[in-house]
Structure 1
Amino acid sequence: MPFYIETPALLQALAERGYAEPTAVQSAVLEPEAEARDLLVSAQTGSGKTVAYGLAFAATILDDDHLPPAAAPLALVIAPTRELALQVHAELSWLYAHAGVRVVACVGGMDPRREQRALAAGCHIVVGTPGRLQDHLNRRALDLSALRVAVLDEADEMLDLGFREELDAILGAAPAERRTLLFSATIAREIAALARQYQRDALRIDTQQRNQPHADIEYRGIRIAVDEIEHGLVNLLRFHDRGPCLVFCATREAVRRLFGSLQERGFAAVALSGELSQTERNAALQSLRDGRARVCIATDVAARGLDLPNLDLVIHADLPTDKATLLHRSGRTGRAGRKGLCLLLVPSPRRRRAEALLASAGIKAIWDDPPSAEAIRAGDQARLLADPLLTEAPLDDDIALAGELLAAHAPQAVAAALIRLYRARLPAPEDITVQPAEAPRPARARFGNDPDGQERDGRDMVWFRAAIGRQGRADPKWLLPLLCRIGGLTRRDIGAIRIFDRETKFEIAADCAGTFAAALDAGASPDLAIEPADAAPATQPGRPPARPGFRPAGRGGFKPGAKPRARPDTRPDADADGAQAKKPWDKPRDKPREKVAGKVAGKAAFKAGAKPHANPYAKPHAKPGAKPGAKPGAKPRAKPDA
């Protein structure tokens, strides 16, 4: 289906770029019902949204296919990140190149004075980030009085980044009769509220199925030990040698560490994080597009808006924090109809969290182990045999030099030298410990109550010791997660935990003990000294045995210096008839009658004339005929005899 637009300049630009048929979102915004209306569009990443809204507002800024002189901007595009804003600027520049449209970018990290001069010289379209656009508004360098259309690209991301105040200031300075086009990956409650505030009778366009992952992306979960994440990443990059790759980390420090490590190993890598200047970030992306770099290690700042057409592989070195981050990271691949591969490095302690994350996104992942060194070398051999250098027609100079080499050396020696040269440029693969597949969970261990034997739930156990005890406030509540994180273990791999005064001994499953010890040798626990224990603890470190002169003081044990409360029983437990004998400390069930009678006898005697039902505990100085409880000296109020 061709593009149904009436602007020859735009049709020519699309043809030059190879756009033969519009995507789903591009067709939707070009429908007659969407003409001259506000639009609320939900579309997945890589669906051609930039070209879509560029075509959608063409009729709004062009007067009868003629462009007015460049002055105050007619269209404004707001993007959440610098990379996305610069990408939109590049897309709109070629789309409107034959129409003579001037497009100006205003993003953070660039020279603001140069942007002010470009705005003062006049333009038709401004693309920028919220912070820089508001800064130009405050300095009166940006005039929005003639604005005809405003576009909010990746509106959900702008709200997540806290740009609501900036959006209010920018859109509040624009004319009320403008068109407002709002594009978002999802239409959440906050986006719907934003649309109600700034749009009028907006047309809702939803070109993707809700809660459905990208159909062109294959997801795989890679089981890996905690201390071998970097080795697993190296082997994945070596095994999937298929063009540029994007590796996501959670922090800037992780980006710096992985970037330095991969460069030392010989990978052509670049880094992308918020601490870099905009010039450095642009250079990193350009080297990735040009092929000078193959691997880009980035934080989530690169998860939005990056358009790398040849990107076929995304690796999550650190698990995403939520479903949205997972989909936005992974959406950098599988774009424009291409197939993509997404790999998640999942340490053993985080397997459950990864499964829950994938399930929340509706993704069915294939679980696998990282490629071994043998598999990588086999792939290198296959790629060498299929290398285009061996099939291309040689030049005359090459033929002459090849003849001289064969004359001086045997053919096998020449081929072996070629193989060594080929392997020398490749980073060496790493040896990986194969992680066990998920197994049924055994019965739960009870801390400190396992027997002294070396077997638990059918698995052999090995003892380790940590240099912290009760005096250091050791507690299984934080020791257990710490051990899992250090050694890449799960709860079922840890047996009894026994806490003493100055140390703690614990069991590790024998099949995991080697990996755990290797993690300790690699410095996985710098703040807590842990080492293998010679044998199981000799005694149970729970409540100490009872000693004379001590009595229990609650669950905490025994209170020193407390007097014993021994109650010796000198009588037999039962009498001759079999009835249970009473013990001296047994409390009587009923009060003795003589005790009650004694209380009555101890009271003052009643005087003559007192009513028989009077309170027996009335005060002795009450006058005759006075009601119980009457005040002393009060006159009796005798009832007359009828």
Structure 2
Amino acid sequence: MIAPLQAALTARGYTDLTPVQTAVTDPALGHADLLVSAQTGSGKTVGFGLALGPTLLGDEPLFEMAAAPLALVIAPTRELALQVKRELGWLYAETGAVTASCVGGMDMRDERRALARGVHIVVATPGRLRDHIMRGSIDLTAIRGVVLDEADEMLDLGFREDLEFILGECPDTRRTLLFSATVPAQIARLAQTYQKDAVRVATTTGERQHADITYQAMMVANHDAENAIINTLRYHEAPNAIVFCNTRAMVNRVTTRLSNRGFPVVALSGELTQSERTNALQAMRDGRARVCVATDVAARGIDLPNLDLVVHAELPSNFETLLHRSGRTGRAGRKGTSALIVTPKVRSKAMRVLKGAKLEADWIDAPSADAVRAQDEARLLSDPMWTDPVTEAEADMVAKLASNFSAEQLAAALLRIHGQRHSAPEHLSDVTGEKAPKTRAPFGPSVWFSVTGGRDDGIEVRRLLPILCNAGDITKDDIGAIRITDDTSYVELKADSADGFAQALGPAMQIEGGATVTRLKDVPDAARQPKPRFTPKPKQQGKRVWDENRSAAPRRKPKPDAAPVEWNDDPTPRQRKPKPNAKPAAPRKPKAETQLEKAIKDGSVKAPKKPRHKAGGKGKPTGAPKVGKYNSKKNKARRAAAQGGTQPPRRKS
């Protein structure tokens, strides 16, 4: 390992490397491209920072003067990109590396000036980096290494085209490191296209996910979900905690509720501006806030210090989201707790998500008010301040308190002051999770009876049961199983009630409707078969034989056949339905003859000859003009003269 990087790790308190850091820094890998799959929070940022060292520095301990960038680190979100920049900043501090960030929401002019001054490592989001490339603000000719951090999330967010464009602009001699929590088919295709003989490094195991995280599924009543969040935060009193919600509206609701109860809380959602998001995260880092309420997208990739508790106010939609949420805690060897708030409505979904993630959770009740108070007392008694020596600045006040008040008064005042600093816990309703199945005492010895009539006769359990109770002077507790076949029904009675039942029916052994009841010696075959889950109701063909007092429902009388339509008897084509009271059509009047037609008919005038047409003409008379309007007065006169055999008028010269 390069000496400045080793010194930075030692100064940071690193004694051992995580599995992913050890795997990617293996000298046997050389400068090969890597496809790394590792869990969230496994130290991937420091891992690819160490892996890039030999590629960027070679054998030199320090960088040369900054010019064109040597490495690109691409992250899906602004927060993750800025976080990666901070991590690489302290890791490469002793090498003289100059790092710059290019992320959305920041001033592009400042980024352009930083690139113009010269940088060694650029950390960027895909969209903003593509903008700089297209504007010519960044020179990629000297790129030696490219890192795609959280590649699966970038593809999920729709950055595939941007990534392909960026990788296509980089030199072919680059080294490409692709880090992803999972390696689906689209990640494999991306690696096959833009990596050369990539070495697959897998540090995840399918047996146990997030071994440093304790998963708890807390059962609460439907109306106590928000109260359970308050009690969970109070019970653990983690230095930093994050509460995940599925929607912005739920984030605002939970944030308001926690703020009203006195929790130092901030919110992260898509509706916040970049400055508001930055201020919220900074408040969590410097201790001004202790609880962060966020959506999945807004909290993607963020790393908060001392984050020991993750609360799922609403269950994630899939197990991948559960792993990404829970991966915010239990990082760098620290222990963490992931608590799922589970109501009876979503219990099955919680079990399905945990099973998909191959996780085993402790199913417990949410912390009650008494449990929170007991935990407060335990923390107070175990506080190391009880054994701290009294300082000189405190000595005078301690003496005054001891002389003016008794030990009991001091202890009571301490408890009151301690209680005022914390929000009071909420009282939760008792919840049992799943409803316990109803248990029935063993039925004991029994006797079976058969009843004439079955499913085809319309017999149903809901009507047969009261008839048997009334006729046999028994209760429903004396009746066991009832099985109804197509033609016969079978009833199970307690052995000590069978004789009284038969005596109440009388010698005829009949019940209402005339159905006959017969005592059986053995259990019928129908009783040995399982009860059908669904029995369709039969279609009533008439009166039920076992109930003479019940008449069959009257059927709808069919409509009488319509009388034939007279207008449809004549098979003439295109018939039309006659209108009522239609008047007969008036006969057409003959066309009146013109004076010319009358003269020709009388013989006083000879009929004009048919006009001659020009060969190939359009059928116009010979005397018709070749030019001008066809229906002008002169043309009409010429056509009339041509038809009458006279000479058409000449145009005056």
TM category, shorter = 0.5 to 0.7
How far off its partner does 1:410 sit?
A: 3.3
Q: Distance in 1 between matches of 2:194 and 2:353?
A: 34
Q: Does 1:202 align with 2:198?
A: yes
Preserved CA contact (<8 Å) 2:67 2:119: yes
Q: Does 1:39 align with 2:7?
A: no
Amino acid of the residue matched to residue 17 of structure 2?
P
Amino acid of the residue matched to residue 22 of structure 2?
S
Structure-2 residue corresponding to 1:54: 49
Q: Distance in 1 between matches of 2:133 and 2:294?
A: 32
Q: Does 1:297 align with 2:293?
A: yes
Q: Distance in 2 between matches of 1:195 and 1:106?
A: 24
How far off its partner does 1:440 sit?
A: 5.3
Q: Distance in 2 between matches of 1:258 and 1:168?
A: 40
Preserved CA contact (<8 Å) 2:71 2:144: yes
1:137-189 Cα deviation digits (max 9, x unpaired): 22221221211111100101111111101111111111122111101111111
Q: Distance in 1 between matches of 2:118 and 2:430?
A: 62
Q: Which moved more, 1:348-357 or 1:399-408?
A: 399-408
Q: Distance in 2 between matches of 1:384 and 1:156?
A: 45
Structure-2 residue corresponding to 1:19: 14
Amino acid of the residue matched to residue 73 of structure 2?
V
Distance 1:337 1:63, change over 3 A: closer
Preserved CA contact (<8 Å) 2:270 2:298: no
Distance 1:24 1:204, change over 3 A: same
Structure 1 counterpart SS, 2:4: helix
Q: Which moved more, 1:239-248 or 1:315-324?
A: 239-248
Q: Does 1:401 align with 2:374?
A: no
What are the residue-to-residue correspondences of 1:273-352 with 2, within 5 Å?
A: 273-352=269-348
Structure-2 residue corresponding to 1:413: 409
* Structure number, greater radius of gyration: 2
1:543-594 Cα deviation digits (max 9, x unpaired): xxxxxxxxxxxxxxx999x64799xxxxxxxxxxxxxxxxxxxxxxxxxxxx
Structure-1 residue corresponding to 2:353: 357
Aligned to 1:104, which of 100, 104, 115? 100
How far off its partner does 1:357 sit?
A: 0.9
Q: Does 1:248 align with 2:244?
A: yes
Q: Distance in 1 between matches of 2:218 and 2:299?
A: 21
Structure 2 counterpart SS, 1:57: helix
Structure-1 residue corresponding to 2:386: 390
Structure 2 counterpart SS, 1:275: coil
Q: Distance in 2 between matches of 1:403 and 1:28?
A: 60
* TM-score for the superposition, normalised by structure 1: 0.67
Q: Distance in 1 between matches of 2:378 and 2:203?
A: 42
Structure-2 residue corresponding to 1:375: 371
Structure-2 residue corresponding to 1:152: 148
Distance 1:91 1:410, change over 3 A: same
Distance 1:227 1:71, change over 3 A: same
Tell me how many residue pairs correspond in the alignment: 458
Q: Distance in 2 between matches of 1:344 and 1:150?
A: 37
Structure 1 counterpart SS, 2:50: helix
1:401-426 Cα deviation digits (max 9, x unpaired): 23323433333223212211110111
Structure 1 counterpart SS, 2:415: helix
Q: Distance in 2 between matches of 1:57 and 1:336?
A: 20
Preserved CA contact (<8 Å) 2:206 2:358: no
How far off its partner does 1:322 sit?
A: 0.4
Aligned to 2:434, which of 431, 438, 444? 438
Structure 2 counterpart SS, 1:297: strand
How far off its partner does 1:441 sit?
A: 5.4
Q: Distance in 2 between matches of 1:315 and 1:218?
A: 12
Q: Does 1:228 align with 2:247?
A: no
Distance 1:270 1:559, change over 3 A: farther
Q: Distance in 1 between matches of 2:193 and 2:55?
A: 21
Distance 1:275 1:211, change over 3 A: farther
1:596-632 Cα deviation digits (max 9, x unpaired): xxxxxxxxxxxxxxxxxxxxxxxxxxxxxxxxxxxxx
How far off its partner does 1:211 sit?
A: 6.0
Preserved CA contact (<8 Å) 2:31 2:175: yes
Q: Which moved more, 1:210-219 or 1:243-252?
A: 210-219
* TM-score for the superposition, normalised by structure 2: 0.66
Structure 2 counterpart SS, 1:182: strand
1:413-445 Cα deviation digits (max 9, x unpaired): 2321221111011101111011113245569xx
What are the residue-to-residue correspondences of 1:446-457 with 2, within 5 Å?
A: none
Structure 2 counterpart SS, 1:438: coil
Structure-2 residue corresponding to 1:550: none
Preserved CA contact (<8 Å) 1:303 1:332: no
Q: Does 1:219 align with 2:215?
A: yes
1:343-396 Cα deviation digits (max 9, x unpaired): 100111110111111111111111111111111112222222223333322223
Q: Distance in 2 between matches of 1:450 and 1:339?
A: 59
Q: Distance in 2 between matches of 1:26 and 1:359?
A: 29
1:121-140 Cα deviation digits (max 9, x unpaired): 11010001111111212222
How far off its partner does 1:309 sit?
A: 4.0
Distance 1:450 1:275, change over 3 A: farther
Preserved CA contact (<8 Å) 1:303 1:328: no
Amino acid of the residue matched to residue 51 of structure 2?
A
Q: Distance in 2 between matches of 1:254 and 1:362?
A: 28
Structure-1 residue corresponding to 2:164: 168
Structure-1 residue corresponding to 2:542: none
1:101-123 Cα deviation digits (max 9, x unpaired): 10001111222211111111110
What are the residue-to-residue correspondences of 1:542-557 with 2, within 5 Å?
A: none
Structure 1 counterpart SS, 2:427: coil
Structure-2 residue corresponding to 1:625: none
Structure-2 residue corresponding to 1:90: 86
- Specify every segment of 5 or more residues in structure 2 that has no aligned partner in the other structure, as ranges: 440-460, 467-475, 478-536, 538-552, 561-653
Q: Does 1:262 align with 2:262?
A: no
Preserved CA contact (<8 Å) 1:211 1:361: no
Aligned to 1:183, which of 172, 179, 184? 179
Aligned to 1:8, which of 3, 10, 19? 3
How far off its partner does 1:220 sit?
A: 1.0
Structure 2 counterpart SS, 1:146: coil
Preserved CA contact (<8 Å) 2:38 2:182: yes
Q: Distance in 1 between matches of 2:396 and 2:436?
A: 66
1:517-539 Cα deviation digits (max 9, x unpaired): xxxxxxxxxxxxxxxxxxxxxxx
Q: Distance in 1 between matches of 2:301 and 2:49?
A: 16
Preserved CA contact (<8 Å) 1:288 1:295: yes
Distance 1:143 1:412, change over 3 A: same
Q: Distance in 2 between matches of 1:358 and 1:266?
A: 33
Preserved CA contact (<8 Å) 2:78 2:103: yes
Q: Distance in 2 between matches of 1:226 and 1:559?
A: 49
What are the residue-to-residue correspondences of 1:425-574 with 2, within 5 Å?
A: 425-439=421-435, 563=557
- Specify every segment of 5 or more residues in structure 1 that has no aligned partner in the other structure, as ranges: 444-448, 459-541, 543-557, 567-642
Q: Distance in 1 between matches of 2:232 and 2:27?
A: 49
Distance 1:373 1:54, change over 3 A: same
Aligned to 2:234, which of 238, 251, 254? 238
Structure-2 residue corresponding to 1:465: none
